[in-house]
A and B are shown apart, each in its own frame.
Chain A
Amino acid sequence: QVQLQESGPGLVKPSQTLSLTCTVSGDSIVSGSYFWSWIRQSAGKGLEWIGRIHSSGSTHYNPSVKSRVAISRDTSKNEFSLRLDSLTPADTAVYYCARGLPSERFDPWGQGTLVTVSS
């Protein structure tokens, strides 16, 4: 059974950088043809796909955040990570990691972690 678990700070100050990690169990992030993705959910914007790292290591981002986002991975720990720079209160959301199956439908999702951007 594949499981994903997000971890990271719950509170970040404006202008700072957010770093979140997704730990994957039950599957390898380098095998298959999967897309390991970050998605966020806020009251204002609903569900928003942020970006993904493919099992090959290639990345792809939503243009809405492309200038300040990076997704990387640590294959030795079977983890992938999100870095989001220059935070504003608009980045306050529940952040999910998810496995994107071939053609990028998402299954499963992590439980999500609430990130609040506030001074």
Chain B
Amino acid sequence: EIVLTQSPGTVSLSPGERATLSCRASQTIDRNYLAWYQQKLGQAPRLLIYGASSRATAIPDRFSGSGSGTDFTLTISRLEPEDFALYYCQQYGDSPITFGQGTRLEIK
């Protein structure tokens, strides 16, 4: 199965700053089938990005995804207070579907 490794484990930033989260796959992800999710405490994950770079419905344009092959990045251009949460990547190019272990984005 494809193992996804997210880095850093935790990142501390201030509102207004730029966040860059990384997701590295153990092998090439077919058709760049890579998604990003946001999860807040006590809530289910919410789809942010799919196909590595396409924003899901109603997701603000400060969220963007990039990358291909084995290296992918989620960028939040200007952090809002509501953006501090857990972020997960997920690959759906190969079975079984797998998730990264998550990056915690906390307020500095």
**A103 close to chain B: CB less than 8 A:** yes
Kindly state the separation between the CA atoms of A96 and B44 in the bound complex, as whole angstroms: 8
B37 (CB) vs chain A CBs: closest residue: A106
The prevalent SS among residues of B at the interface is loop
- Chain B residues with a Cβ closer than 8 Å to the other chain, count: 24
Nearest opposing residue in chain B for A107, CB measure: B47
Chain A contact patch, size range: 20 to 34
Q: Say which residue of A101, A104, A111 sits within 8 Å of B97 (CB atoms).
A: A104
Return the chain A residue nearest B45 by Cβ: A109
B99 touches A47 (CB 8 A): yes
**How far apart are the CA atoms of A98 and B90 in the complex, in Å?**
14
Interface residues of A in 68-119 (CB under 8 A from B): 96, 98, 100-101, 103-112
Q: In the complex, are the beta carbons of B44 and A110 less than 8 A apart?
A: yes
Whole-angstrom CA separation of A62 from B99 in the bound complex: 13
Interface check B63, CB cutoff 8 A: no
Q: Is the C-beta of A60 less than 8 angstroms from some C-beta in chain B?
A: yes
CA distance A33 to B72 in the complex (A): 27
* B60, CB-defined interface residue at 8 Å: no
Residues on A facing B (Cβ under 8 Å) = 46-49, 60, 62-64, 96, 98, 100-101, 103-112
Interface residues of B (CB under 8 A from A): 31, 33, 35, 37, 43-47, 50-51, 56-57, 88, 90, 92, 95-102
A-B contacts, 8 of them at CB < 8 A, read A46-B101, A47-B45, A47-B99, A62-B97, A104-B97, A106-B90, A107-B46, A109-B46
